[in-house]
Each structure stands twice: as C-alpha cells, then as structure tokens.
Amino acid sequence: MFRELTTALYAGVESKNISKLEEWTKQNPDNIQSKRLLISFYINEKENKKAKEVGRELISKSGKAIDFELSASPYILSGEYTEAIRLLEEAYNKSYNEDILIKITTILANYIGDIDSAIQHLEEHRSQNQCSEKICNQLVEIYTKLQQVQPLMEVYHDLYRETKKDVYAVKIVEGYIYTENFDKAIKFLQNNYSNDELLYELYLAKKDYHSALDIAEKLFIEQKKPKWLAESAMALYESAKNKDDELMLKKVVDKFEKALEAGVKDSVYLNYYGYTLIDKNIDIEKGVDIVKDALKEQPNNSYYLDSLAWGYYKLNLCKEAYIEMKKVVDIEGLDEEDIAQHWISIQECNR
C-alpha cells in the first residue's frame, strides 16, 4: 500500500488507497511515515484543514525539522502565515537548513511585508555561517529593491570571497562606480581582482587619462584588438596638457589610422577621430567624411551632428553648418559650452 501511494503521490495521480491510508493511520497513531504521506495527499487535494490536523499529530510525535516544515505547508496555502512562520522557524532552529530559511524570509518579505525581519533572519544566518550564494543572493535581491548600497556591497564582498566568481567582482566595481568611490574600485582591481578592461573604464571615469593610456596600450599588446589602438588614441589626446602639440597629434592620427585600417568601424571612434581632424585643422575634408560614416550608424546623434556642423563651418559651408547645428541646438539646448560656442560662430558665419 505504501509503495503504491508513494508512487501515485510523486506521479500526481489519484490513488484508491487514500481511505485505507487514513484508516491505517488511525490504527497506528505512532507511525510517522503514514502521517507524512497522508499530509502530502491532503495538500495535493487542497484539503488544508485535514492536513493541519494530521500535521499537529505529526509534530506531537516527531521532533524532526522535516516534519515541522511539512506541517507548515497547509498554513502557507491557506494564507495563515504567522502560524506557518512559527512552524518553519521550529524547523530551521533544528536544522539550520537554508531552504527552510528561504521559505521563512520569502513569506516575511513578500506576503507579510515584514522586510526588516526577513533581513534580520538572513543576516543572522550570514553572520553565523558562510555566505552561501542561496542566502546572500536573497539579501542582494532585497537590498537592491531597497536601494541600500552599503549593505549590498558588503554582501557582494562576502560572495566574492567565498566563490571568487567574476560576476560578484564586477558587481563590487559597479557599486563603487555608482557611489563614485573610484579609488576604492581601483584598489579592489589592483589587489583583489585582476581585470584591466574594468580598470581602464575606471581610470576614464576618474579622468586619469595617463593611467588609462598605459592600460589601453597594454591591452593592445596582449589582445591585438584594434579597438585598443583607438582607445589609446583618445586617452593620449585627453592626457595631453597641450592639445595643440604637433607630435602628440601626429601620434593620435597614426593610432587612429592603424585602428581604421585594422577594421575599426565603431561610430564613437569615427566621430572622435573625425572631429579631431576637423577641430585641429589637420584634414578637415577627411574629418567630415569620417563623421558622415559615424552618422550612417547613428544618424540622429547630436554630438555627431555637432562634429559635422563644425566641419562644414571650417570649410566655410555656412548654410550647411547652420542646418546641422540647428538640429543639435533643438535637441541639446545651449547648456554645453562647446555647443554654445559652435552655435555662436556658425550663426555669425551664416549671416
């Protein structure tokens, strides 16, 4: 009988032996297995009242965590969350089982709305045990929703220490960037997690273009990807104190030319290079052509349109410059200094 009932339960099919199981359980009140099986059938049939009755009998006979957890199920299904929590906490205190704790904190956070208690349960477990991904990722979910960055960062640090997974290291760096703690992010990358591409982005965010240039050149040597030639060209220009230095500009042009010859087509690089050729009077016509290539990818990009307008202005094509610059002003306004200066010059040119 027990074998057939167990098979039927796991297969999700009806069994003609349920009434026999009920009778057998009454005749054998000390049998734990029959009570567990009977509760499971009652839960499947949504007979929560009967499941609760058998559950009370079960935990009076058994002190095992699994039986307290099972007895909590009908209370969860009937929305009696306070009693469900009480039984689940009994189960957790007997086993410190993480799955049971997840059930408790899910009910607290999502059904009772007591997020503080959910956090307290999870943090107590974290302080007494290692930070498993299951527990700490639930804390991550809660702290993210609450936008509590500091405790979120602490959890990510624990997760990275325990797992050494890249995803958590990246989250730590992203958290430092979000809070603008660039120095901490750089220190973490230098001491705890080697990722030169992330380190490069951080140096850019911090406007430390000399260090960014070193990283970009290192990455080009290691990866041979032409994008790093383009990145190093931009970092070289941004790091220069004298933006009109001829030797520096020649190096910038050489880097961009090699990058383009190697197949770089990203519109960001095309616009940067094209604008540099225009603004520094290196090769205005070529700069305009390169910016036009960038606009093929992003035809409504206001910064690319600004570059094109400035190129037309430098070529004394005042009407064309005005048409393109008017689009930029309509999109961006005149808050940015470069846009405002370009607009003034192009308006005067168009009179």
Query: Per mean pLDDT, which range of 43-47, 242-246, 309-313 is the poorest?
Result: 43-47
**pTM of the model as a whole:** 0.75
The Cα 78–Cα 11 span in angstroms is 24
Are the C-beta atoms of 248 and 233 separated by less than 8 Å? Answer: no
Given the candidates 3.40.190.10, 1.10.10.60, 1.25.40.10, 3.30.230.10, the CATH classification of the domain at 1-117 is: 1.25.40.10
Are the C-beta atoms of 51 and 39 separated by less than 8 Å? Answer: yes
- What single string gives the DSSP state of each residue in 114-166? -HHHHHHHHHHHHHHS---HHHHHHHHHHHHHHT-HHHHHHHHHHHHHHH--H
In sequence order, the 6+-apart residues with CB closer than 8 A to the CB of 9 are 15, 37, 40, 41, 44
In sequence order, the 6+-apart residues with CB closer than 8 A to the CB of 114 are 108
Are the C-beta atoms of 90 and 83 separated by less than 8 Å? Answer: no
| Three-state SS at 316 | coil
In this prediction, residue 38 has a pLDDT band, given cuts at 50, 70 and 90, of confident
Summary mean pLDDT of the chain: 92
Residues of the chain within CATH 1.25.40.10 domain(s) are 1-117, 265-351
pLDDT digits (tens, 9 = 90+) for 156-189: 999 999 999 999 999 999 999 999 999 999 999 9
Q: Does the pLDDT value for residue 79 go beyond 70?
A: yes
Nearest to residue 62, comparing CAs of 31, 88, 83?
31
Are the C-beta atoms of 209 and 235 separated by less than 8 Å? Answer: yes
Length of the chain in terms of residues written = 351
Report the CATH number of the 265-351 domain.
1.25.40.10
Are the C-beta atoms of 173 and 202 separated by less than 8 Å? Answer: yes
